[in-house]
Structure 1
């Protein structure tokens, strides 16, 4: 995967290395102990992209204003977003790439604060707390239906398809204002985006999402409702300088996709971790009230679905780990490497749901860090807590239907996502 090197020669890593995709936790840990920074290669070709591996350095990249998300904000340079070429190789039409390159996740400074403030009140801890009864209601309904989803031949049900995905997309669609009858289509689009390496349907999915949002905007203008979409339309119509039409569409796209994809895979990954670590599962069963919040944090650290942050660009020369990163260089912060750094976490490869004591500041980087810290983190934690409590309470004999090593995962650099999660609800199911 990586090659040892003298200090003058950078350690290198191929992000598409099958072994690294199969086991990123140990793979990136080995890389981190070789070097705090590594140069990304494609096969036998080098690239301009660097990856930062150690916890302290990853926090620096995510929070230091010397790193920007938009390459055009590097002073005195005219840089193209490194992802633009990647998107072209994936066959994504240039007409739709901007919806993925210029969201609230990608802008800096005043533009980022302006866009973030427009939706931040929707995701405050207080606002999220008011959603708890509805999250529990949706969870209960999905749990009720699980036995009907099981195969009559072997009693196996796909927990990802029939529980982990429907829960967060229902919640986020209700918040935003996506009608119930359209949510199945959103799931199909989302699946197409995640599996574009197999289907090549990335552009078709983005086109469908954009056109659908534009239709919803027209509908909400005619029939306002008590939802985030109506509120954003109001901001745009009152002052287009505050929120453009493009930003409105991109904001909805980003919130809905980010608001269910990562949570669904946190629930899926987390259940696999608990079911394969019976000591931790029994600890959690014994005291869900105290340990559930800690468990979610630990699962986000240990098997979080997002393993790398979006590219940043050095706005000036910056030294990291004894190596000078030149102005304009693209850099990727490795969250999975940072979250397993023994400099920050004792025995990091051990799953320990008691690891984070009450009241301590969040130590893992699963939700990011700094100005671009995940806007929906509080909602994701709440949904995961309700999901785990509901599953373990309703189906105490829940078990994997296949050996954990046989679970199918989507081979995507920077992500840890299941393709399916086959389980049995009871020994006789």
Structure 2
């Protein structure tokens, strides 16, 4: 099969604004429970179950509820040097609350006509957000909407703030708000649903890909670490796998490990503390809590090799896709995978539910474990299957038509499946090719 070059499209959020040369400000969404870096080496815990709650956690582990609303939902949080901003949604309106370092609620802003921000960022002076392709600026001190204008020729996906400069990301470029007419051509990370982080000038996306970031050149890809969550503490990489945190050497082998009693839902770092979120509870640990791995020298000298695939050749590209024909089942794909001893395979459908049988569709995923540790993750693609049903039919044609008309957005996996002529541009030619597939 001819190798394909995939354009990575942003589908989630960036973190913002560095503090103490460690972790940038945080931005989260998607109604999940999560934890983020706070002030004075503390943390914030966001819980969206039953009530929208924000809890302040000191570096000693003491918790104080600073925000709690019934029938509300915290959709995003952003931290600047002095404030925590919380975007809250309800059936009636949307509000951005400004919370000071001491936990008191200082101001809130309800956008005119109940505008819903699709992405927002902030520093100590302004809130910047995008809504319906318009860019808005709110003055924190005057609590007023100062400007409403479109800055860019391309549709802005996300905003973030780094070293007091505001950046905007489109599908293919990076822009600075202070120079919006000149795009910065650079590598564009993929964010998905996991929280991205900045450590000084290092950014790690939700796929474990590591990028450097500079004022003039934007993102530059460095390497990939095959963990669902990756963070940096004292210039050392750590990878999270289920209920373990692995301390990694320069060649990514495991040198020591912290084992937790439950699966780890989220991680944040501040100062020398690591905060683990599990089942809505937070535990703080440090490097001293890690234990050396037995036979770590053996593990380091025998690095894990990728599983090999007999018959499915696109798995090697940088985006870790496996291209399979429609009608491929889990059992069929397993027969084509030559895995190492003590390895296991776990499949998920496109709603992130674990599955063990049935047809594979676009957006399904495969996780490859060795000795109970996640080593590689692949996304399944069935060319032409945009709906993720595992077959190509008129529903896919309808979905692609709506996308071309601007009625809906596609995920990066769906865009890969729709790009049938492999030219990194989804257009009417792909629709024609899709129609031919349906008629075959």
Q: Normalised by the size of structure 1, how large is the TM-score?
A: 0.24
RCO comparison, higher one (Cα < 8 Å, 6+): 1
Q: Which structure has greater helix proportion? A: 1
Q: Which structure has greater strand proportion? A: 2
Q: Normalised by the size of structure 2, how large is the TM-score?
A: 0.23
